[in-house]
Amino acid sequence: MQFATNQTKRLCTVIASTITLASTIHCTGNRRAAEQKCLALLQDCNSLSKLTQVHTYILKSGLQNNPLVLTKLTATSSDLHAIDYASSFLFSPESDTGLYDTFLFNTIIRAYAQTNNSKVIAIFMYNLMLKYNILPNKFTYPFVLKACAGIGNLKLGKSVHGSVLKFGFADDVHVQNTMVHMYCCGKEGTEFARKVFDEMSKLDSVSWSAIIGGYARFGRSSDAIDLFRQMQIAGICPDEITMVSVLSACTDLGALELGKWVESYIEKEKVQKTVELSNALIDMFAKCGDVDKAIKLFKNMKHRTIVSWTSVIVGLAMHGRGVEAVELFEEMIRSGVAPDDVSFIGLLSACSHSGLVDKGRDYFDNMKTNFGIIPKIEHYGCMVDMLCRAGQIKKALKFVQEMAIEPNPVIWRILINACRAHGELKLGEKFSRQLIGNEPMHESNYVLLSNIYAKMLNWEKKMMIREMMDRKGIRKIPGSTMIELGNEIYEFVAGDKSHNQYKEIYEMVDEMQRKMKQAGFVPTTSEVLLDIDNEDKEDSLNTHSEKLAIAFALLNTPPGTPIRIVKNLRVCTDCHSATKFISEIYNREIIMRDRNRFHHFNNGLCSCRDFW
């Protein structure tokens, strides 16, 4: 493996010349004094150029094989981010392998493990260490496991875990903590992480933070919150890293009240309010439905990053406040903060959700010319979504055909949904069949085609698609709605009878339906993609997860208080229309977060203006 950069190679050539010259010079003076001088020079070394000068002095003094000096030289190279330089002379063909020891390898492995693009070399060095029969110690494995986490190789991490057991370091808390972190870097590793965590005899804040962060990162948000509560019971004080993960879990669940409690907890416990933690608070409030609080926190920040600006822009976009999002983007530019590709995704999304098609086109066209940002697939996706939401299907298709990069399945699914919504059913059928050919195991492709056949009232072909899914073992993701009440998260699915109040909930649903019909509500039975009569279709619509969650809230919250629900899929037309009626009949503000955006229902109207 080649370690040295071109600069390092040139430096080594200079060193080699010096060695030749040094061979004619007899080292004089006390060898011990020379050793001390070398160590002192290395201690004061603060640049690569000085390091090469000291290295030259070491060679002239004949101390290149002195273990103490060699180890210090390696450590200094690491501190100066010049570990390639050290590797070039440590592992050359002329190197004396008898000088290698555990501390030397630990120094090199640590340096490579902490370098973004060199973590694989850390693993190589660990294997080289074992090859030379140099035994690792408890300080070796945190660095090796960190490198495994950095490259996301769970199989390799399991192998290193085996070595940890073999060499008897499985009970060391630092090794255990790093192992939990390593397993939490992949979704499939969280169960292994929990097993290590549960078997630890001593848990500290690092242990809790690692497992909570892993759960929050991979969608196990309820488990992350539950672990945080256990952490409090255990009397372990969390740090700002833990709180960022907890806020991320609150954001995923849409748990605004829990998020508010976390904010007060941060203040009460005086957790350090880093920029990252402030950004997490902004993101949580924006995505849990209180974008005005997010704006307030943003304005009170002393130091803002591009993440701070982008979090508010995305939040405004999700709430359909596109004009404000555009104004904030322009303010960001005026303040001297250069937008990045993520902030442009938020901006284009804001234009899409607010119908600002012309403005969105201008921003997309100016990304490269004014800001030097090459559009990525996500930006193209925003543009296709923008045109489709505006009903401009033909323009959207032309845009896709002229894209500078190959459209991905997400973009085709956006087009297919738009074709179904705007009556271009034959076109939608064609694209769906192409997608199934390219992605034969992706459930969404079959669901899209099935829904198009239902819209065509072609029940025979719809049944064929469903049977095809069954044969391939493909299952549709069920729609669900979550609601937070009394610091608990309740989840409902269509037709759900698992809740202990289900009888009262269904009675409330019936009451809601009677009052809505009296107020003029007409169910959108075309949303029921089944070959059944209209009465059965209405019954099916009544038990959608959104309506069950709203009925549960009406039963268990004081009159006049807001209701907040979170849906994992896009809200259907019937539930959107029904929720407008419910908000007026029961005098409730209902805030719904679906997969795409927020809907604020109040007095029979929705903030999206039926544009979603």
The string of pLDDT tens digits covering residues 545-567 is 999 999 999 999 999 999 999 99
pLDDT for 2 equals 46
Q: Is the pLDDT reported for residue 61 higher than 60? A: yes
Most confident of 97-101, 280-284, 521-525, 605-609: 280-284
Phi, psi (degrees; rounded to nearest 5) at 289? 110, -5
Residue 447 reports pLDDT greater than 90: no
Q: Which residues pair with 483 in a beta bridge?
A: 490, 565
Q: Which residues of 137-154 are buried (b: 16+ CB within 10 A; e: fewer)?
A: eebbbbbbbbbbbbeebb
Tell me the per-residue pLDDT of 288-321, one tens digit each, with 9 for 90 and over. 999 999 999 999 999 999 999 999 999 999 998 9
For residue 15, name the pLDDT band (cuts at 50, 70, 90). very low
To the nearest whole number, what is the mean pLDDT of the chain?
86
Q: 102 to each of 55, 69, 108, 136, 291, how far by Cα in Å? A: 22, 15, 10, 6, 54
3-state secondary structure labels for all residues of 185-251: CCHHHHHHHHHHHHHCCCCCHHHHHHHHHHHHHCCCHHHHHHHHHHHHHCCCCCCHHHHHHHHHHHH
Burial readout 56-72 (b: 16 or more C-beta within 10 A, e: otherwise): bbbbbbebbebeebbbb
Least confident range of 161-175, 397-411, 472-486, 514-528: 514-528
β-pair partners for 567: 481
Local confidence band at 538 (pLDDT 50, 70, 90 cut-offs): low
Is residue 336 predicted with pLDDT exceeding 80? yes
Q: How confident is the model at residue 41 (pLDDT cuts 50, 70, 90)?
A: confident
Say which range, 69-83, 374-388, 465-479, 555-569, has the weakest mean pLDDT: 69-83
Query: Taking 60 as the threshold, does the pLDDT of residue 24 lie above it?
Result: no
Q: Is the pLDDT score of 473 beyond 80?
A: yes
Phi and psi angles of residue 483, each rounded to the nearest 5 degrees, phi first = -140, 140
Three-state SS string across 145-196, please? Answer: HHHHHHHCCHHHHHHHHHHHHHHCCCCCHHHHHHHHHHHCCCHHHHHHHHHH
Distance, in Å, from the CA atom of 90 to the CA atom of 92, rounded to the nearest integer, reads 6
Q: Please state, for a pLDDT cut of 70, what percent of the chain lies above it.
A: 89
Q: How many CB atoms lie within 10 A of CB 390?
A: 17
Mean pLDDT across the stretch 514-535? 71
Looking at the predicted structure, is the pLDDT value of residue 374 above 90? yes
User: Is the model's pLDDT at 19 over the cut of 70?
Assistant: no
- Looking at the predicted structure, is the pLDDT value of residue 537 above 90? no
The conformational region for residue 495 under phi > 0 = left, psi -120 to 50 = alpha, else beta, is: left
CATH 1.25.40 in the chain, residues?
A: 411-472
Average pLDDT over residues 447-451: 88
What is residue 23's predicted lDDT score, i.e. its pLDDT? 37
Q: Which residues contact 140 (CB under 8 A, 6 or more apart)?
A: 102, 105, 106, 109, 126, 129
- Integer CA distances (angstroms), 119 to 82, 104, 113, 143, 477, in order: 15, 17, 5, 10, 37
Angle at CA of residue 386, ends 384 and 391, nearest 5°: 95
pLDDT of residue 65: 67
What's residue 388's pLDDT? 93
Question: What confidence score (pLDDT) does residue 17 get?
Answer: 40
Comparing 19-23, 26-30, 76-80, 129-133, the range with the smallest average pLDDT is 19-23
Confidence band, pLDDT 50/70/90 cuts, at residue 264: very high
Look up residue 303 and give its DSSP letter: S
Q: Can you tell me the distance from the alpha carbon of 524 to that of 537, in angstroms, rounded to the nearest whole number?
A: 9
pLDDT at position 76: 77
3-state SS record for 343-405: HHHHHHHHHHHCCCHHHHHHHHHHHHHHHCCCCCHHHHHHHHHHHHHCCCHHHHHHHHHCCCC
- Per DSSP, which regions of 98-144 are E strands? none
Residue whose C-alpha is closest to residue 211's, from 251, 490, 230, 201: 230
Pairing of strands 590-593, 563-567: parallel
379 CB-contact burial (10 Å; exposed 0-12 / middle 13-18 / buried 19+): buried
Is pLDDT above 80 for 325? yes
Say yes or no to pLDDT of 483 above 70: yes
What is the spatial distance between Cα 182 and Cα 176, in angstroms, rounded to a whole number?
10
Residue 10 binned pLDDT confidence (cut-offs 50, 70, 90)? very low
What fold characterizes domain 411-472? 1.25.40
pLDDT category of residue 43 using cuts at 50, 70 and 90: confident
Whether residue 237 contacts residue 230, with contact meaning beta carbons closer than 8 Å, is answered with no
In this prediction, residue 535 carries a pLDDT of: 54
338 versus 117: which is more confidently predicted?
A: 338
Instruction: Give the Cβ contact number of residue 434 at 10 Å.
Output: 14
Residue with tokens 């059913």: 425
Contact 349, 314 (CB under 8 A): yes
Cβ-proximal residues to 27 (8 Å cutoff; 6+ apart), any chain: 34, 60, 61, 62
Q: Kindly report whether the global pTM for this prediction surpasses the value 0.85.
A: no
> What is the mean predicted confidence (pLDDT) over 344-373?
93
pLDDT value at residue 278: 97
Residue 441: CB partners within 8 Å, gap ≥ 6? 472, 474
